[in-house]
Each structure stands twice: as structure tokens, then as C-alpha cells.
Amino acid sequence: MCERHLSSPARRNLLLAGASSLALASLSRRDARAAQPAVGNAPNSIPPAQALDRLMQGNARYAANTSSNKDYSAGRAARVSAQYPIAAIVGCADSRVAPELAFDQGPGDLFVVRVAGNFVNDDILASLEYGVEFLGVPLIMVLGHTQCGAVGATVKVLQEGARLPGHLPELVRAIRPAVRIAQAEHGADLVAQTTIENVRLNTNRLTVSKPLIGPYVKSGKVKVVGGIYDLATGKIALV
């Protein structure tokens, strides 16, 4: 009776499913460990200040139209096995802002996550945690930009009661706290001030986020900064 039960198709399928699940779990853990560069040996094992300096020097080259990255096929074969980004960028989805170009960095140098309005939700946070924990990213920049449509739309909704279709109200909900702070500042340009406050709010959130990024920041291994990209000049100012 017991032998017939063990050899039944249902029992065999159950055992195979269990074995497959264990194998996949083991493989996922192994892949995650393999993705993490060896401490002190990876090309991006640099101080956060050095990573930021490289970004700002690259932006200066870009703004001056003297970018050095022109051959994007260079190093393609080497990048197949691993990636070593020197910074993670939380950017807006705006098509006019291309972080790799704006910082004059090549493929594999930046770990970029983008959403209209450059705010941090749980999905963005999880991506950044992966970059810090498994890729060894030493720097995170929240990058806003002038004339941001998502920020402008949020301001219009709150000031004029405009209604947005689809899931666009989710963007408003995420950016609304920055508008409230900017309104308290009584600045002349509410959209511009909200853009800055939105960057600051999300920079602060990442700085203290748990359980991964906050402790890295506290230890000095990771730095979180904010920046504003000027569409007219291509220059990025830290905020």
C-alpha cells in the first residue's frame, strides 16, 4: 500500500515540484552572491566622494560639448560577465534627460532607475537596494530636472483641481508632499521650487531607508545626493 502510494504519478509530481523549487531557490541565492563583487577588488570599489567627482566632471564635459565617451562598443565583451556601476541614478522618465549622456559615462557605469517625477516608491527602492547590496554602488543621486511635466501637472492638480486620467493620480500622490513644502516657502516659481523639494524629500528618504541603504549611508560606504538637470544648459547643480 505504501509502495503504491510512493510510486503514484501524483506523488512523483509532488516530489519533482519540491525538488525543482529547492533547486531554483539555491540557484537564485548562488546567482545573487555571484553578482556581488569581491570587496575591495571591484572597479567600482571607490569612495562615494570619488564617484561623485567623476559624475560632475563628466557633466562638465557634456555641458561643454567635449564628451569623451564616443565608442559604446568598447568593453562590450567584458561587460557580459559582470557590471560595476559607480553610481545609481533615480531619474525622471523625461526623454530629454539621458543620465549616461549627461554625466558622460559609458555603458555599465550607471545603474539607472527612472519614473516620471523621479520619486522613490517601493519598486524603485528595491532596485536601488539591489544596486547597493549586490553591485557595490557607492553613490546614489536623485536627479530632477527643470520644466518637469510630472511636477507641473501635480501643481496644476493641487492649485486648480485638474483631473488626470488613468493611473496619473498616482504620480500626483507621490509628488504632492513636495508641493506642500514648496508652497510654504512662498517662492516665485512654485514648479521650480517643488522640483527642488521633491529631490530633497526623496534624497532624505533614501538616506534613512531600512533595512539596507540607510545602514550603508551611516557607515560611510554609500552617499546619497540630489541634483537638478537644467534642460537649457545641460548642467547639473547639486541640491
Sign of torsion, CA 181 223 225 97? negative
pLDDT category of residue 22 using cuts at 50, 70 and 90: very low
Buried b (16+ CB within 10 A) or exposed e, 134-171: bbbbbbbbbbbbbebebbebbbebbeeeeeeeeeeeeb
| pLDDT tens readout for residues 174-211 | 999 999 999 998 888 999 999 999 999 999 999 999 99
Given this model, what pLDDT does residue 71 score?
A: 80
pLDDT category of residue 9 using cuts at 50, 70 and 90: low
Q: Is the pTM of this model over 0.75?
A: yes
The residue that leads in pLDDT, 76 or 215, is: 215
CATH number of 46-238: 3.40.1050.10
Q: 111, 88 in Cβ contact below 8 A?
A: yes
pLDDT category of residue 40 using cuts at 50, 70 and 90: low
